[in-house]
């Protein structure tokens, strides 16, 4: 892979500050400022810590109660897949070791066919000998535990102050003043040097930016939604299915997915259209749910004895996508995480890309040499991250079709086998799209472009007569690599 666009841009703009030790000295020479972070979710709590580590005083405003009190579970999906882009940001903040304690490694996908047969597919790539000795993994983490840990770790820093039960209701852009409302309805105002909007897909900070000239915003809902049910451990506390796998029941237009949790449970999620013959809206009675599961997911029925009860009790949730531009305002307001790019969850990259926003902005700040550079830095941040946000949305939408429709398809599985062998035999010459998105820091837009080139080539290869039997020949690999090297469109 070539140099990332961030590295290129940083080099081009500030060649004198690419040396890390020099950029550290400059960082410490910058005056501490009063920063506001609006939203203490997964991105806001991490970014608060990263700002405080630079010597800034950070107030974090969160509309919800303290996640360490009560039984708050985090609102949306119960667990999440954490991968390399997220880990890199956590490492930069010095808290990856703490997160590792609550993370469960997942080495492969296991596909469940309608007849109950299983197909396994590793996430990582084999070594040159075709072995998976030290497999690449994604990690399952509980949303609630991770959020709590991020709040706790950041709060250890003397410069970070959390204000729970504080909803941001308005923001004055010129004076950088936030209007904050407490749980009792009382409002007060507070002024800051800079404000970071990490308040999620329905961001209030972004709402305010939408009233500025030439600010673009688009929101769409997927016509599909999701519902979660829990598979509890067996009587002796063991997982009921392989614990190092993400389980998928691909059924064409819809699917069931099972992601394990460290406590022995699986969070099982059905993603399906709202309407139509297999739509979520029609699954509103014991009989309808029983028929749906026995037709499509019969092997799950003995593993979740109360599945109909859970199904009817749990909410159906929608999937929203938002895009906006720019991601900053002048030198003082910046959007990060879902506030700037809410995507569908099918690549497991929403949080990871939000955490990558943190590491990218942090690297840009490393290269900054005076407070006057904030405007320039925020502009660079938008320039780098907006294309990445758009690309990961497209990738995630494509991956929904792949997961629900193609993972059970023999031609798809053959493609995966060929690509894994190619990558192992010719390292650096062919990296499958999944690996680029999940296990690399290649900007998403570059990965998407490369993925489209790979699709064009592999479509032709898979159309060859007899490829199922003679794919593992040197000529096949040579022809793919030649096509790759000559297809530069």
Ligand X SMILES: Cc1cc2nc3c(=O)[nH]c(=O)nc-3n(C[C@H](O)[C@H](O)[C@H](O)COP(=O)(O)OP(=O)(O)OC[C@H]3O[C@@H](n4cnc5c(N)ncnc54)[C@H](O)[C@@H]3O)c2cc1C
> Does the footprint of ligand X cover residue 64 (CB under 6 A)?
yes
In the stretch 398-437, what mask flags binding to ligand X with x, by CB under 6 A? ----------------------------------------
Q: Which of 121, 352, 359, 388 binds ligand X (CB under 6 A)?
A: 352
Cα separation of 330 and 193, whole Å? 12
Contact, 39 vs 197, CB < 8 A? yes
Nearer to ligand X, 62 or 445 (CB): 62
Nearer to ligand X, 308 or 399 (CB): 399
The first and second tokens of residue 457, run together, are 């080539």
Q: Which of 36, 44, 433, 446 binds ligand X (CB under 6 A)?
A: 44
> Does the footprint of ligand X cover residue 360 (CB under 6 A)?
no
> Does the footprint of ligand X cover residue 182 (CB under 6 A)?
no
Size of the site for ligand X (CB under 6 A): 32
> Does the footprint of ligand X cover residue 168 (CB under 6 A)?
yes
Find the shortest distance in angstroms from Cβ 152 to ligand X: 15
> Does the footprint of ligand X cover residue 76 (CB under 6 A)?
yes
Q: Which of 199, 366, 373, 445 binds ligand X (CB under 6 A)?
A: 199
Check the CA dihedral 477-483-486-489 and report its sign: negative
The residue whose Cβ lies closest to ligand X is 41
> Does the footprint of ligand X cover residue 62 (CB under 6 A)?
yes
Q: Which of 153, 338, 373, 419 binds ligand X (CB under 6 A)?
A: 338
Find the shortest distance in angstroms from Cβ 48 to ligand X: 11
Stretch touching ligand X by CB under 6 A, among 36-44, 102-110, 407-415, 478-486 = 36-44
Contact, 334 vs 328, CB < 8 A? yes
Q: Which of 37, 81, 246, 364 binds ligand X (CB under 6 A)?
A: 81
Closest by CA to 141, choosing from 152, 130, 129, 150, is 150
> Does the footprint of ligand X cover residue 59 (CB under 6 A)?
no
> Does the footprint of ligand X cover residue 346 (CB under 6 A)?
no
- Token pair 């080495």 is found at 107
Q: Which of 35, 51, 58, 80 binds ligand X (CB under 6 A)?
A: 80
Q: Which of 225, 250, 326, 337 binds ligand X (CB under 6 A)?
A: 337
Nearer to ligand X, 66 or 461 (CB): 66
Nearer to ligand X, 168 or 367 (CB): 168
Q: Which of 6, 17, 61, 431 binds ligand X (CB under 6 A)?
A: 61
Concatenating the DSSP letter of every residue in 290-331 gives: HHHHHHH-GGGGGG-TTHHHHHHHSPPEEEEEEEEE-SEETT
Give 90's Cβ-side CA count (13 Å radius). 23
Check the CA dihedral 248-300-107-233 and report its sign: positive
Nearer to ligand X, 208 or 240 (CB): 208
Q: Which of 226, 307, 311, 484 binds ligand X (CB under 6 A)?
A: 226
Check the CA dihedral 454-460-466-472 and report its sign: negative
CA distances from 303 to 120, 229, 231, 236 (A): 20, 12, 7, 14
Concatenating the DSSP letter of every residue in 331-379 gives: TTEEE-GGGTEE--GGGS-HHHHHHHHHHHHHHHHHT--SGGGHHHHHH
Q: Kindly state the helix (H) or strand (E) to which residue 388 belongs, with its residue range.
A: helix 374-401
> Does the footprint of ligand X cover residue 345 (CB under 6 A)?
yes
* Angle between helix 444-462 and 374-401 (nearest 10): 30
Cα separation of 138 and 157, whole Å? 29
> Does the footprint of ligand X cover residue 14 (CB under 6 A)?
no
Q: Which of 92, 109, 112, 204 binds ligand X (CB under 6 A)?
A: 204
Nearer to ligand X, 181 or 331 (CB): 181
Cis preceding-peptide flag for 326 (omega within 30 of 0): yes
Q: Which of 167, 182, 416, 453 binds ligand X (CB under 6 A)?
A: 167
Nearer to ligand X, 200 or 443 (CB): 200
> Does the footprint of ligand X cover residue 40 (CB under 6 A)?
yes
Q: Which of 6, 35, 39, 194 binds ligand X (CB under 6 A)?
A: 39
Cα separation of 10 and 5, whole Å? 8
Closest by CA to 112, choosing from 246, 250, 318, is 250
Phi, psi of 79 (to 5 degrees): -135, 165
Determine if residue 70 is left, alpha or beta; phi over 0 gives left, psi from -120 to 50 gives alpha, anything else beta.
left
Nearer to ligand X, 14 or 247 (CB): 247
Q: Which of 63, 88, 329, 386 binds ligand X (CB under 6 A)?
A: 63
346 CB neighbour count, 10 Å cutoff = 22
> Does the footprint of ligand X cover residue 280 (CB under 6 A)?
no
Stretch touching ligand X by CB under 6 A, among 25-33, 198-206, 308-316, 420-428 = 198-206
Cα separation of 393 and 391, whole Å? 5
> Does the footprint of ligand X cover residue 297 (CB under 6 A)?
no
Residues of the shown chain interacting with ligand X in the complex, contacts defined by CB under 6 A = 38-44, 61-64, 76-77, 80-81, 167-168, 198-200, 204, 226, 337-339, 345, 348-352, 354
């Amino acid at each position: 892979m070539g140099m990332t666009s961030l590295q290129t841009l940083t080099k081009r703009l500030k060649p004198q500050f690419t040396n890390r030790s020099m950029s550290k000295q400059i960082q410490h020479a910058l005056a501490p400022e009063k920063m506001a972070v609006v939203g203490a979710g997964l991105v806001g709590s991490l970014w608060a810590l990263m700002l405080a580590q630079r010597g800034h005083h950070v107030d974090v405003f969160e509309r919800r109660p303290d996640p360490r009190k009560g039984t708050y579970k985090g609102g949306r999906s119960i667990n999440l897949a954490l991968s390399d882009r997220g880990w890199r940001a956590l490492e930069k903040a010095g808290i990856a070791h703490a997160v590792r304690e609550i993370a469960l490694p997942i080495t492969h996908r296991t596909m469940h066919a309608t007849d109950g047969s299983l197909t396994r597919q590793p996430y990582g790539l084999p070594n040159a000998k075709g072995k998976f000795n030290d497999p690449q993994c994604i990690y399952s983490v509980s949303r609630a535990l991770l959020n709590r840990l991020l709040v706790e770790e950041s709060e250890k820093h003397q410069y970070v102050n959390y204000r729970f039960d504080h909803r941001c209701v308005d923001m004055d852009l010129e004076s950088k003043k936030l209007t904050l409302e407490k749980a009792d309805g009382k409002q007060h105002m507070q002024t800051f040097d800079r404000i970071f909007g990490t308040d999620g897909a329905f961001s209030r900070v972004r709402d305010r930016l939408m009233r500025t000239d030439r600010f673009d915003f688009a929101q769409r809902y997927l016509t599909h939604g999701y519902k979660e049910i829990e598979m509890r451990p067996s009587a002796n506390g063991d997982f009921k299915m392989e614990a190092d796998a993400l389980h998928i029941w691909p059924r064409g237009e819809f699917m069931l997915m099972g992601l394990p949790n460290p406590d022995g449970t699986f969070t099982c999620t059905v993603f399906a259209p709202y309407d139509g013959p297999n739509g979520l809206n029609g699954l509103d009675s014991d009989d309808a749910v029983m028929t749906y599961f026995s037709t499509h997911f019969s092997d799950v029925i003995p593993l979740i004895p109360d599945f109909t009860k859970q199904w009817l009790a749990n909410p159906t949730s929608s999937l929203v996508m938002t895009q906006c531009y720019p991601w900053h305002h002048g030198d003082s307001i910046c959007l990060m995480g879902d506030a700037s790019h809410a995507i569908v969850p099918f690549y497991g990259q929403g949080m990871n890309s939000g955490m990558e926003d943190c590491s990218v902005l942090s690297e840009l700040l490393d290269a900054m040499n005076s407070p006057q550079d904030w405007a320039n830095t925020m502009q660079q941040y938008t320039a780098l991250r907006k294309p990445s946000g758009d690309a990961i949305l497209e990738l995630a939408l494509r991956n929904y079709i792949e997961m629900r429709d193609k993972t059970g398809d023999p031609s798809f599985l053959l493609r995966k086998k060929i690509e894994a062998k190619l990558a192992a035999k010719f390292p650096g010459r062919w990296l499958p799209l999944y690996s680029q998105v999940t296990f690399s820091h290649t900007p998403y837009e570059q990965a998407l472009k490369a993925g489209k080139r790979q699709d064009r080539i592999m479509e032709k290869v898979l159309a060859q007569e007899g490829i199922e039997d003679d794919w593992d020949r040197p000529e096949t690999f040579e022809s793919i690599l030649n096509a790759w090297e000559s297809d530069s469109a």
